[in-house]
């Protein structure tokens, strides 16, 4: 079984192709603007270098967030387009779950932390059980670093680009309870997305491609502004 996975939730994006035997190909790249400028080129490069084609894929996996709103839309729309062309299914994976999956065999809970802007972070909590299966302890959510530090009550493995901004603050608040993973693991990986998708496939989970959508966790700035405009309009109509 071959899976093509896309990770575009942060500026460090990537594409990976895996089979039951292991990795077929992978490219990771840091973009300065948006993934729309490079994603298709990267996909083409991975396919050509691994001597495979879209029609050989059994499924397409994608990181659905939380993360960059623009990046998530690009990734999701790309795999949905591939699904329409090939009639292959799309397997949606949480970005935070994929990020945490890079730390198997951890004896501590794993807390992924991605910068959510506005002084907040996207986060969740996972742990690997006795059979080396990763289990979710918190749902994906957005909160302030100070709120996160209050929720962590035991030694926890932290990773993600949010540590670049809030690492010092979290370390001061948590002390020995904050264990930082190696920095090379702070970026989400398309390989992890592919492996989690493979697990989903084996479990028999299937998601119609038209039901796959980004998980933004919070509303976009445009939605907030629109709601405020509607409230002002309603208030104005009432006053008249």
CATH domain 3-96+188-223 topology: Nucleotidyltransferase; domain 5 (3.30.420)
Q: What is the pLDDT of residue 159?
A: 98
Is the overall model pTM greater than 0.85, yes or no?
yes
Nearest to 8 by CA among 99, 52, 70, 50: 70
pLDDT for 31-70, tens place per residue?
Answer: 776 667 789 999 999 999 999 999 999 999 999 999 999 9
3-class SS shares of the chain: helix, strand, coil, % to 5: 40, 25, 30
Question: 106 - beta bridge partners?
Answer: none
Q: DSSP 3-state assignment of 166? A: helix
Domain regions of the chain by residue span: 3-96+188-223, 104-185
Exposed (0-12), middle (13-18) or buried (19+): which is 206, by Cβ within 10 Å? exposed
pLDDT tens track for 105-162: 899 999 999 999 999 999 999 999 978 789 999 999 999 999 999 999 999 999 999 9
Q: Which residues contact 177 (CB under 8 A, 6 or more apart)?
A: 152, 153, 154, 155, 156
Q: Percentage of the chain with pLDDT > 70?
A: 89
Do residues 123 and 96 touch, judged by C-beta distance below 8 A?
Answer: yes
Q: Which class in CATH covers the domain with range 104-185?
A: alpha beta
- Per-residue pLDDT at 204 exceeds 60: yes
| Three-state DSSP class for residue 93 | strand
**Domain 3-96+188-223 identical in fold to domain 104-185:** yes
């Amino acid at each position: 079984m071959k899976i093509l996975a896309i990770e575009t939730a942060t500026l460090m994006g990537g594409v990976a192709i895996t089979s039951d035997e292991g990795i077929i190909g992978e490219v990771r790249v840091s973009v300065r603007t948006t993934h729309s400028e490079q994603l298709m080129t990267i996909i083409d490069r991975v396919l050509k270098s691994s001597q495979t084609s879209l029609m050989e894929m059994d499924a397409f996996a994608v990181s659905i967030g939380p993360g960059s709103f623009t990046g998530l839309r690009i990734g999701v729309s790309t795999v949905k387009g591939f699904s329409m062309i090939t009639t292959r299914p799309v397997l949606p994976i949480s970005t935070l779950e994929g990020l945490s999956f890079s730390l198997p065999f951890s004896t501590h809970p794993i807390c992924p932390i991605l910068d959510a802007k506005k002084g907040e972070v996207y986060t969740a909590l996972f742990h690997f059980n006795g059979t080396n299966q990763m289990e979710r302890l918190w749902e994906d959510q957005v909160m302030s670093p100070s709120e996160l530090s209050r929720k962590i009550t035991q030694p926890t493995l932290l990773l993600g680009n949010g540590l670049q901004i809030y690492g010092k603050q979290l370390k001061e608040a948590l002390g020995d309870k904050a264990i930082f993973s190696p920095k090379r693991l702070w970026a989400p990986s398309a390989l992890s997305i592919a492996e989690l998708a493979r697990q989903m496939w084996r479990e028999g989970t299937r998601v119609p491609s038209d039901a796959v959508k980004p998980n933004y966790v919070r509303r976009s700035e445009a939605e907030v502004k629109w709601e405020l405009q509607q409230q002002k309009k309603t208030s104005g109509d009432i006053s008249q």
